[in-house]
Amino acid sequence: MQNFIGEIEQRSPAGIAAAIGRLIASGRLAPGDRLPTVRVLAGELGVSPATVSHAWQALSAVGLITSRGRGGTFVQDTAPQWLPARSQSMIGAVGAVRLDLSRGTPDPQLLPKLGPALSRVSQRAVTPSYQDLSIIPELLDVLRVSWPYPVDSITIVDGALDAISRSLDAVTHFGDRVIVENPSFPPFFDLLDQRGLERLPVAVDEHGIVPAGFAAALQLGPAVVLLQPRAHNPTGASMTAHRAEELARLLRTTAASADTIVIEDDHSAEISIAPDVSLGVWLPERTLHVRSFSKSHGPDLRIAALGGPAALIDPIVSRRMLGPGWTSRMLQTILHDLLTNGESMAQVSEARRIYFARQRALANALAEFGLDVVQADGINTWLPVHSERDAMVHLAASGIRVAGGSPFLANTGGPEFIRVTAGALPDDIRPVAEALFAAAHPRDAAVHPVAARWS
């Protein structure tokens, strides 16, 4: 334990937690190592047991240590092996915090109420035929009207990731190259790796994927371009129509990309403040567009629409008939009700307004402390930090949990980030913004005492 003492320069909860976090990150404390008791370490450091206890709580909140009751406190073991690689690094820590901004999920209070829709669903789960259409006609009509461009075929699948997975299965082969945004949604990386697909990461800016990098990647003949057109996770960027047209032009004029398929994940369509946008406007014959309703209507509905040319959609529907067959028509009926009922539509519209207001308030508050960020769309914000691990520990000591940025990055060794689920922010945003600033700029934390006291 004496090795700990020299590493702990600051005897505050945040300072103790940050020092232990660095020891874990460097490997000097390994998974499964037992830590000293609160009272023993407090005595060695000359601080109160409460100070060490708060440090232990911060480390536990970010998943670095775990308590086994009377058995002691240990460095956390690895995540469950049944999770994909990137998902293992994203797994949320257990334990209570005052404010959890790590989840990337919608505010439960802003989801439309399901009770009225459920009351209008048939009391029996019947279907006329196992070979009936995979999408109920009334839902298809609503989706066609709202689709960003005229499309041959639309089907319903079990969420956006299911749509992406099935699309990749249908249009790629082992060893194919796929252009992916950097940063991007970590399960995308897992999907590509599991299929033996080579990632071609291209940077994004506030308008989406950067054309210069995109043009260079197209020269390598990718089989697929995987994009998030709006409310990009994790950055919150939304593509403009001008940017989408520029990307479509590059696809159309680059000889090596003549057969490249575009897969778009519009996961936040109903809560995005940006207009509809899709490369399918210019390339309808080779665009698969996904519209998910998890962020707007509830993750547990597990529903997304997948639209594109019949030549691409029909094989996906056909293969699915040999698995789940179709997405529950009862759930489709509930979604149709939510998309057409005036009260539900108003609730989703209000959620979109509130998410916009929270993102704007956060951007404005961060600007007051000298941290300029582009106001994000949707529910997530991407913040640069001096050290991802230190920032997470510092925030945990203040009672705030965020997501580390490294799982979202295609490569390591560059700038570090954290992802903040701004959609879960409380009404009083300024103290949270101050804590975020102090975590991002620890050297300036001393001049921001509110951040240290927020917990």
Rounded Cα distance between 295 and 273, Å, is 13
Spans in the chain with pLDDT lower than 50: 445-455
Beta-carbon count within 10 A of 361 CB: 19
In this structure, what token pair is assigned to residue 76? 């956390």
Instruction: Give residue 449's pLDDT.
Output: 43
DSSP-derived letter for residue 72 is: -
Instruction: Give residue 13's pLDDT.
Output: 85
Beta-carbon count within 10 A of 88 CB: 16
Instruction: Give residue 8's pLDDT.
Output: 85
Rounded Cα distance between 435 and 448, Å, is 8
From the number of C-beta atoms within 10 Å of its C-beta (0-12, 13-18, 19+), residue 184 rates as: buried
Rounded Cα distance between 302 and 294, Å, is 7
Instruction: Give residue 448's pLDDT.
Output: 45
Rounded Cα distance between 391 and 107, Å, is 24
**Sequence-separated (6 or more) residues with CB below 8 Å from residue 432:** 99, 101, 362, 365, 400, 425, 426, 454
pTM summary value: 0.83
In this structure, what token pair is assigned to residue 26? 């460097």
Instruction: Give residue 92's pLDDT.
Output: 52
For residue range 225-265, what is the model confidence (pLDDT) as tens digits?
999 999 999 999 999 999 999 999 999 999 999 999 999 99
CA-based Rg of the chain, rounded to a whole angstrom? 24
Instruction: Give residue 320's pLDDT.
Output: 92
Instruction: Give residue 100's pLDDT.
Output: 92
Q: Can the peptide bond before residue 183 be classed as cis, meaning omega within 30 degrees of 0?
A: yes
In this structure, what token pair is assigned to residue 80? 């469950």
Instruction: Give residue 447's pLDDT.
Output: 44
